[in-house]
Every structure is written in C-alpha cells, then in structure tokens.
Amino acid sequence: MQTLKNIPISTVLIVALCIALLQIPVTAEPLNDYHPEGVWPGEPTDDALNVNVVSFNMNYWPLITLYVQVSDSNGAPVAGLPEEAFELYENDILTFCDVEPADFDGTSYGMALDCSGSMYGYENDVIFACTTFVAGMTMPEQAAVIYFESFGDTHVEQPMTNNHDLLTNAALGYYANGATAQWYGYTLALEEFKFELQPRMLLGFTDGMDNSSGSYTQQTTTDLALLLGAPVYTIGLGGVTPGPLIEIANATGGSYIQTQPDSLWYYYRQIQHAYQNQYKVAYITPDPSYNGSQHTARVIVDYNGDTGEDSTRFAAPFVENFAPAITLTPSTVDPILTYAQPAGNPVTIGAYVTDNDVVTSVMLRFRYIGSNYYNHAYMLNVSDSTYEFTFDGAYVQTPGIDFYILASDSYYHVTSSPETDPSVIPHQIVVLPNDRPEITHIAVATWQEQTPLPVSCDVVDTTANVDQVVLCHKNDSEIYYTETDMVNIGGDTYETVIPAGDLIALLDLEYYLIAYDDQETYRVDGPHHVNVGTVPLVITMTPVNPPIQIPATGGSFDFNIELDNQDTSPMNFDAWIMVTLPNGSPFGPVLGPVNLLIPASTSVERTRTQAVPENAPPGEYIYEGLGGIYPNGIWASDSFTFEKLTDGDGASISQWFCYGEDFDQWLAGNTTVSTPLQYELSNAYPNPFNPSTILGYKLPVASLVKLAVYDISGRLVSELVNGWRDIGVHEVMFEASDLASGLYIYHLDAGDFTASGKMILMK
C-alpha cells in the first residue's frame, strides 16, 4: 500500500490545494462585501442575527470544531448565548453539538501593515490603531507584525508572539516608504501562523494596489489562506481599488472595509471584538468514514425569536493519522511531570510525533510558571518519530516551567499537547523547593440518576498557599467540561455539588479536580468515571422475632440490616433509618446518617436493637432503612412494621435508641479495616442517665464475653452479655427503669481482659 510519504511532493501540494478548495466556507448571509466609508461589515440584513462560520478544525477527526461569530443587525457581537440557542446539521442530519465561548483558545493574528510611501503623514494613525489593537488582546491571543513596502524591504518586523510589549514596540516602529508588495506581505503574515492552532486570521490595510510582489499574486495568497483556514480582512484607505481585496475576502470568509486612516483604529478594534466573542461549536460527525466524502455543516442560531444561519464545507480525510499525533515519552511523564525537579539541573523533555504525512515542524512553547509570555523553540528530531528539547540548567529554576508542544505537517494540520487550551493549562515542570498541591479524594464510581452528586476533597500545599480548587465535569453526550469553583468549608476541605440535571441515565459522567496554588502551580486528580443509572444497592431490613408489639411503657426489638453493594466498584453512600408514625408523619433518623464506603460485590450485615419510648403514640409504625444521599437522594430502601400497644407493662423507656453492631469498618474515609488493636471498655453514654444508657466494648479477636451491671454493694443487677462475640466494636443498652437512683458499676470480662466503669442513674 502506498502511503503519503511515498508520493512526490508536487502531487502532495496539488492534493492539498484541492482539499483546501473543498473547505471554502459557504456563508448564508455574507459579511464579506464592499463597505462604504464609516460602515461596519454587519450592516442590517434580512436576518436579525448574523451568523458567520469563520473557520473550523477537523484535526481530531471525528471531532469537528467550528468557530462561529454571531452579531446583531447592527453588527455588534452577541455574547452570552446559551447552548440551547444553537442547532447543527451535518448533511441535513440534526446532530448534537456542544457550545462554549472560544475565549480560551486565543486567536493568532497576522498583522500586515502597508508601509508604502503614500502612507506618509498617516504614521500616527497607523501606530494608534496598532497599539490600541495590541492593548485589547487577551493573554492567549498572539500576533505577528509584517511591514510591506518594496519587495526587497518587505519583512517580518515581529514574529508570532503573545508578548504584548514586543508587539507594541513593533507597531511604534512603523514608517512610510517605498512601493507596495501587498501579496508578498500578506504571504509572510500567513506563514507566521501556519504552525499555530485555530482560530487564525489575517488583518491588513493598504491605500494602494500591489505593484512589487514579484511571483506572489492574489491567487497564491488566496490558496495559502485557504490551506491555513485563515480568513483575510482588509481595510482599504483612500482611493484604493477594492476589487481584488473584496475577492480574497469573499474567497476566504473574511471581510473588506473602506474608510479613512483616522478610522483605522476603530475597525481594527471592531474586528478584534468580533473575534474575541466567537463561539466554539463542537460535534462528532455522524459519518466518521475515512473516504474523502463531502460534509456540509450548517449552524442555526435562534434566540428570543431572532434567527440566523451559516454553513461551511469540508472533506473527510482519506486516511487515519492524517494529522500529527503527539505522545509524551514515558521519561517525560514520570518523573519529570510527576515529581518536582532539582533546581539548576538540565531537564530534557521528549515526545513521539507520528503522522501519515511528513511532519514539518515540532515547536515548543515555554515560559516560567507565573509569566505571561511564552518563548518559542524547535524540538530536535533525535530519531525516527522522537523529538527532544533540553532546558539548560540555568533556566530550571523555582517555581518551574510551563510548556506545550505544537506539531504540524505539510498539509498545515496543527495539533497540540495538551490537546485542549494548551496555553492556558499547559504541562508543568515543577522545580524545587516549590512543589504541587496534594489532592486527597475518594473517587465516586456509581451514582443514582437525577440525584445531586456532592464532591469533596482535601488539598494541602506544603510550599505555597492553595489559591483555587476547580471541579470539571461532563457527561458522555458532552464535549466540553463544565467548570465549578469548589468552596473551602474549613481547614483543607473543599466541596461542591454536580447538579441533578447533569446526572442522566445511560450517559455516564466524567470529572476531574484541579488545585492551584498562589505560585500558579497546579495538580490534576482524575479523570474519574462515574456510572450513572439505577445504583445496584440493595437494602434488606429483617425483624428478628416478628410480629413486633411494643407495650405502652415502651420496649425494644432486634432487627437485621443488610447493605448489599452489587456493583463491581466500591460504593460511597449514606445509610440511615427513619420511622413513620401512625399518623403518617416521618420521624428520625433514628440511626445515622452514616457515610459508608462498601467494597465492590460486598454485602454487610449488622444486628441491632431499636428502643421505642413510652411517649411514642400507639398504632402501627413503619421502620425503614434507606441508602443514598441523605436526606432526599434515595437509591434503595426496605422496611417492616411494628405496633405500639395501648396497654402492657414493663420497664419504662424514655427515648428512641438504636444500638448494636456498628458500621465503623465501612465508614468512608477509613484507609484501613477498622479492626480494634486491643480490648477496650468504652465509657457509658449518656452518663449520668435516665433511664437508659449505652455500653460499648471492642474485641481484637472473637472472644467469650460477659458484661454485667452491679450496684455499689456488689449485687448483680443485670447481665447484659454472656456468650461468644465476633471481632469488632459492640454496643448494648442498659435499661434501669425499675432501679433506684444511685451509682452502678459495669464490668467486662472478655478473654483474659477485665475492666470496669461507673455510671450514675438520676431520676
């Protein structure tokens, strides 16, 4: 089979151009037209909303990302539209799309400035327009400045950078002299972002026609702009002939505006404002075949009764791996990105870059952690698909280094590592004595649908202050994560809640946590995957001696509660017991809530005793065990009934008590099995008491146990336990309704262990 690497380069370029021509945006209501002096390109149209698909990215096929501008009938960008306002059709098939503002990506601008002699006297207008533009750039945005005049003097004044100071200095150096090599200048501007991520755009101005570009023509410039997916925006000044400038704008999805030099700054700012208020509309193509087939993506925006639409065409790739794939080498991931590195030592990072085409560039962007601006360097191809770069020891200083990698091929496909928002959330090399925050989090594996999911974690930073903790989550239908700031509830603990509406059956959830410190160092915990649906938790409540009848003076009954995690993953949930009174009112909880973490495929059984007080009204009760998220997120439940009689006698019970075998072994947060290390007799609680109290004891091994109560004369008052008991923690209630006030002694014999305690009955 012949691969692209075996095809002659001339054939590759012809194929690339054909693909580009198939990717020309189709605009339903074009904004790229001739505009008279002083008129912004969004003049009123038939649609109240003007929609413009500016560019697209299909390098992560079958994921498609469209960059969409929405403006009102006056041309002003419409920001803050909800996802529900967008519909997407691919080849007339309604397709789910995810929408978010494109502000994180940051546009790459190629600024081509006409420095011909005819601009003499307007230098201050140009400088003001350019410096105003730079001042309005956001931090992820970057630009290059190109001066075009006579062919031999046309040059890149400032290569692509997000350093606003360098860009401002380049603008301040503007001059007017020579001829007009416009197409050559535009070509240099386009080449400056051929290795940049989308979105890209060329912004130029001229007051005359090209007369000095040599072999660079309108057609070659248009072809390159199409290959790069870069719309061309030109502002015509004075008596310029607009025809070719309108044509290249129409061909590339840009715009042409005609005005005077003193209005240049205004249109620069308007174009910038439109790009800074784009939307990313992402979707998975319903036809992911690698067959070169035509795809038409149509975006419809409908908001408050106003509508608009636009579409674009692209061709499916013919082969897999048609764009560069970047994988960090194992030694880069661990230890370099996993552990803090010593200061002053050289650090070499590496990546495998593979592509079905020829890899033309692997570029590294890096900066000190906390710095605003990235430096550029090329990574060295050391063998086959392996690329490396070594940071000199002098650069390896605390707090560390941010970096990301860009790879491109001869078709101008550009990919990055990390894939998403690489300039905002880059890779980090942390340098000692600084270190990352530490996140402690119990991951959630299973959750009930339509039930709010509380998420908590502890964050500790030994070298800086914790500045922010963020939860990012999405379900299987979504492409973009929703970010939520977690709230510090005290100490090192942070909490937030994923809304019930985001927990949808059959659409599992993915989430991760990011903790930042005040040195802008961060750590990621996750991603974690949550199975959403009907939680496989079964609760079984079984009375020991039914039917249960409680005398009027009160009494108690024994019951068994079984909690069965039928999932293949550990399950974290609350367990509690409620009582429904004879009049239907809920009472309780009489047990819990206790937060448990039950291992996968594990059933937990506990035998306990419930005391019912004398003042409980007569009638039939429902005794219900529940599991889920207390109090309203109920995943499972089971119940039985008991009756409170109007007569009968016995010891008087004063309050609801639930005691017996505990759940300590399965309490969430326990990192080891809660097996007592030694015998122990716990203090009575409450003490003093009336008329009942709880006595507890711990057994490190199964033992023959005798627990009894004596009065101060040594007379046996009550034998509470006499028999074998399992390893663990145990509780038993002592009822003293028929005893006189005074001091009582409780005594435990367990194996070779003996212990005693005192308690006071006060009536």
Instruction: pLDDT band for 85, please (50, 70, 90 cuts).
Output: very high
Q: Is 41 helix (H, G, I), strand (E, B) or coil?
A: coil
Q: Does residue 104 have a pLDDT over 90?
A: no
> Which of 2-6, 142-146, 231-235 has the least mean pLDDT?
2-6
Give me the CATH topology for the region 50-101+279-315: Immunoglobulin-like (2.60.40)
Tokens matching residue 688: 């003093």
Q: Which CATH number fits domain 325-430: 2.60.40.10, 2.30.40.10, 3.30.70.330, 3.10.20.30?
A: 2.60.40.10
* Per-residue pLDDT reduced to its tens digit, 405-454: 999 999 889 999 999 889 989 999 999 999 999 999 988 888 888 888 99
- Report DSSP letters for 298-357, one per residue: EEEEEETTEEEEEEEEEE--SSTT-S-EEEE-HHIIIIITTSPBPTTS-EEEEEEEE-SS
The sheet carrying 98-101 orders its strands as: 50-60, 63-71, 279-284, 98-101
679-706: average pLDDT: 86
Q: Are 41 and 49 in contact (CB under 8 A)?
A: no
Tokens matching residue 238: 């004075």
**So what's the pLDDT on residue 22?**
34
Q: Which range, 12-21, 393-402, 599-608, 754-763, has the best average confidence (pLDDT)?
A: 393-402
Q: Does residue 178 have a pLDDT over 60?
A: yes
478-493: average pLDDT: 95
Are β-strands 375-378 and 200-206 bridged in parallel, bridged antiparallel, or unpaired? unpaired
> Which of 419-428, 520-529, 694-703 has the least mean pLDDT?
694-703
Q: Is 557 helix (H, G, I), strand (E, B) or coil?
A: strand
Q: Does residue 2 have a pLDDT over 60?
A: no
Q: Does residue 30 have a pLDDT over 60?
A: no
170-189: average pLDDT: 96
**So what's the pLDDT on residue 738?**
84
Residues found in the chain: 763
Domain at 108-276: CATH code: 3.40.50.410
Instruction: pLDDT band for 33, please (50, 70, 90 cuts).
Output: very low
**So what's the pLDDT on residue 314?**
92
Instruction: pLDDT band for 208, please (50, 70, 90 cuts).
Output: confident
Q: How far apart are CA 679 and CA 672, in angstroms?
A: 18
660-675: average pLDDT: 68
Q: Does residue 313 have a pLDDT over 50?
A: yes
**So what's the pLDDT on residue 271?**
86
Tokens matching residue 715: 């007379």
- Non-local (6+) Cβ contacts of 338 within 8 A are none
Tell me the domain boundaries of the chain: 50-101+279-315, 108-276, 325-430, 441-522, 537-660, 680-761
Instruction: pLDDT band for 648, please (50, 70, 90 cuts).
Output: confident
Taking CA atoms, 97 is separated from 240, 277, 500, 538, in Å, by 42, 18, 21, 37
> Which of 11-25, 464-478, 488-502 has the least mean pLDDT?
11-25
Same fold, 108-276 and 325-430: no
Instruction: pLDDT band for 1, please (50, 70, 90 cuts).
Output: very low
Q: Are 242 and 62 in contact (CB under 8 A)?
A: no
CA-atom Rg of the chain in angstroms:
36
Domain at 680-761: CATH code: 2.60.40.1930
**So what's the pLDDT on residue 675?**
63
555-564: average pLDDT: 95
Q: Are 53 and 27 in contact (CB under 8 A)?
A: yes
Q: Are 588 and 576 in contact (CB under 8 A)?
A: yes
* Per-residue pLDDT reduced to its tens digit, 185-206: 999 999 998 889 888 999 999 9
What crossing angle do the helices spanning 164-172 and 123-135 adopt, rounded to 10°? 170
Identify the residue with better confidence: 347 or 29.
347
Identify the residue with better confidence: 274 or 163.
163
Q: What angle do CA 27, 33, 36 make, to 5 degrees?
A: 150
**So what's the pLDDT on residue 11?**
35
% of the chain beyond a pLDDT of 90: 62
Measured between its terminal Cα atoms, the distance across the chain in Å is: 95
Domain at 537-660: CATH code: 2.60.40.3880
**So what's the pLDDT on residue 32?**
34
Taking CA atoms, 196 is separated from 110, 339, 407, in Å, by 11, 30, 9
Q: Is 478 helix (H, G, I), strand (E, B) or coil?
A: coil
Residue corresponding to tokens 């601009």: 119
- Non-local (6+) Cβ contacts of 300 within 8 A are 51, 86, 87, 88, 89, 307, 308, 309
- Report DSSP letters for 196-247, one per residue: SPSPEEEEEEESS---S-TT--HHHHHHHHHHHT--EEEEEETT---HHHHH
Q: How far apart are CA 380 and CA 396, in angstroms?
A: 19
Strands (E), 581-691: 586-598, 602-612, 619-629, 633-644, 657-660, 680-681
Mean of pLDDT over the chain:
88
**So what's the pLDDT on residue 9?**
33
Q: Does domain 441-522 have CATH number 2.60.40.10?
A: yes
% of the chain beyond a pLDDT of 70: 92
